[in-house]
Structures are given as C-alpha cells and as structure tokens.
Copies of this chain bind each other. A is one copy, B any other.
Amino acid sequence: MTFPKKVMIREVGPREGMQIEKIPVSTEDKIRIVDMLSECNFPVIEVTSFVSPKWVPEMADAEEVAKGFTRYPGTEYQCVYLNAKGIERAQATGKFDLEGVLSITASETFSKRNTNLLIEGTFAKMDDRMDTLHAFNIPVHTIAVMTAFGCTYEGDTDPDHVIRLIDRSMEKAKSFGENPDRILLGDTVGWANPVSTEKLVGKVQDRWPDKDIILHLHDTRGMGMANAYIGLKMGVTHYDSSVGGLGGCPFSGAGRAAGNIATEDLVHMCNELGIPTGIDLEKLLEVTEEIERILGRLLPSKVSKGGSLNSYRLTMS
C-alpha cells in the first residue's frame, strides 16, 4: 500500500462529458476546450467519438473538431470508434494516436442495452475486432471492463466474474500475438465503494502484477474521490476523469446524476498527497471556468469553487 511515483490522468471530458451534456456546444467551442486542455499538459486527452451521428448526434462534428485542434507535443490524443468505418474516419484526420481496446461489459443486461450484445456475443465478435484492429496496424494495449463494480440492472458485480472476463480477453488478445499491458476497470454507473474498489483492484494486482490498472471512476453517489484515494493507496497509476466533473450518467438518476470524477479535484488531491501528475492545475481551473461560461451553469467540481490549497499557500509565503 504505497502511493505511485507518478499518476497518469486521461482527460475524458471532451468526449464522455460533452456526449452527455444536453446543451449543444459549438464546434469552435469544442476545439477551444481541447486546445485549452492541451495547455494543461495532460498525458492523454480523449477528444471525440467517431460513431454514427444517428446514435450520437453530439459527435456529428467529430471530423471538424479533429481538424481544428492543435496537437501538443507530449500529449496523446485518443478517440472512440466502434468499427472499421470509425477507424477510417479517425485515421483520415491524421490527428490521433489510435489505441486498441478490447472492451467487455460485466453485466449482461447493461451489455445488451448498450451494445446489443450479451457477454458471449461480445467474445464471439472479438476475433473480428482483433482482425479489424490489425488491418489498421493498431496494437491492443488495453482490456476494458465496463460495469466492473455493479450496474443498475443487475446490482453488484462479482469481482471473480471480472477476473474471468479479463482472463478470457487476455487469452483472445494473445491468440492474435498481442499482450495488452493495461486493464481498465470501469465503474460505469457509480457502484464502487472504497471496500469494493480495494477488493477488485487487489485481485487484479494479484493476478496481473505487471500490468497497469486504469481506474475509470464515476461520482454518481459521492464516493468517486474516496475510491480514487484507495486506488492511489494501492499504487494504481492511471485514472480517467473529466474537467469540471463535466457530464453525467444517462443510466441513473434521471439525467441529473453526477458523471466522471472531476479532473481538477483529482489533480488537487494528488498535489496534496505529493504525487506528481504533471498537470497545470491553475490552467485547468481556467478551462472549467470557460466550460461553465459556455454551458451557462456551474459544474460539480469542488476545487474550481474553493480554490486550490497551493494558491492560498502562495499568498502566505
């Protein structure tokens, strides 16, 4: 139980946050937000989704956003895609560091509703997925498990079920000559608590001590930051979060529920604990302010309202 030497935070607000916001955001504003985030020195920013505008109309301008933003050295730019068409669209822009992810959902019902496939159906499609990724020369770095802690349809997820899903996904990747080095645990609808986080992370660390864990936490019930702290205590190095706590959860709370944990609150906690993130917190707070201006409402993050403790300490010295 020791803190990691450095934490890698992936900013998912432009993609996951914007997708859920009910207020339409202009392409220009989306581009400006990505550029402002780049100036904060994130290791990874998830910019947009190349999916059908029929399903996700908020992302219909994915190409324009991709063309508009400026790549900063030292930052990886990622996007979501579901099939060859999406990869082609993303690659055509020449702006992305495409990542291969094998994704599986622990809850049958959630999987069916979200992807129209049950778990076995998802595994059955993994050969195609691997072929497609390899056809585009995209290596598979990550096994991702959604609803890894629970979901609103089936309740709590058995951690051993998650381990088995990861195991089978790893085997599949290996049969294609790949050896994914990251495991994403997604608390997709906010079911994790500090004890269940410790349990699942512990089991994954025991089984795959050399792989990096990515904690994708939501704050749906106010435990997101406590869960992140448990991750830090256990040495977890990778976290997903969204600037301002942008976004929400379309699967619970009638659209008012909180979404991803807020990036500035996570960066600030790391700062207070002495764990480097490389991210410029004061610049990040300016991005939150700008997004609040665009959306015309306050976002749920706390440091953006209370101020960073270092900003107070600086006025004292």
Chain A 163-193 near chain B by CB (<8 Å), digits 1 or 0: 0000000000000000000000000001101
Chain B positions within 8 Å of A265 at CB level: 221-223
What is the CB-to-nearest-CB distance from A223 to chain B, in angstroms, rounded to a whole number?
Answer: 6
Known A-B contacts A309-B150, A309-B191; the reply to A269 vs B223 at CB < 8 A is yes
Cross-interface CB contact of A305 among B226, B257, B306, cutoff 8 Å: B257
Judged by a CB distance under 8 angstroms, whether A249 is at the interface is: yes
Inter-chain contact A262/B316, CB cutoff 8 Å: no
What is the CB-to-nearest-CB distance from A107 to chain B, in angstroms, rounded to a whole number?
Answer: 11
Judged by a CB distance under 8 angstroms, whether A238 is at the interface is: no
Instruction: Tell me which residues from 46 to 81 in chain A have a Cβ below 8 Å from any Cβ of chain B.
Output: none
Known A-B contacts A253-B306, A300-B300; the reply to A222 vs B150 at CB < 8 A is no
Instruction: Tell me which residues from 263 to 317 in chain A have a Cβ below 8 Å from any Cβ of chain B.
Output: 265, 268-269, 272-273, 298, 300-303, 305-309, 312-313, 316
CA distance A191 to B268 in the complex (A): 11
Judged by a CB distance under 8 angstroms, whether A225 is at the interface is: yes
CA distance A256 to B226 in the complex (A): 22
The chain B residue sitting closest to A252, CB to CB, is B306
The chain B residue sitting closest to A229, CB to CB, is B226
Judged by a CB distance under 8 angstroms, whether A88 is at the interface is: no
Judged by a CB distance under 8 angstroms, whether A155 is at the interface is: yes
Known: A221-B268, A221-B307, A256-B298. 4 other contacts (CB 8 A): A156-B313, A222-B265, A223-B265, A253-B306
- Could you pull out 28 A-B pairs where Cβ atoms are within 8 angstroms? A153-B316, A155-B312, A155-B313, A155-B316, A191-B309, A193-B269, A193-B273, A194-B273, A195-B273, A219-B302, A220-B306, A221-B265, A221-B306, A221-B307, A221-B309, A222-B225, A222-B262, A223-B225, A223-B229, A225-B226, A226-B228, A252-B306, A252-B307, A253-B305, A256-B298, A256-B305, A257-B302, A257-B306
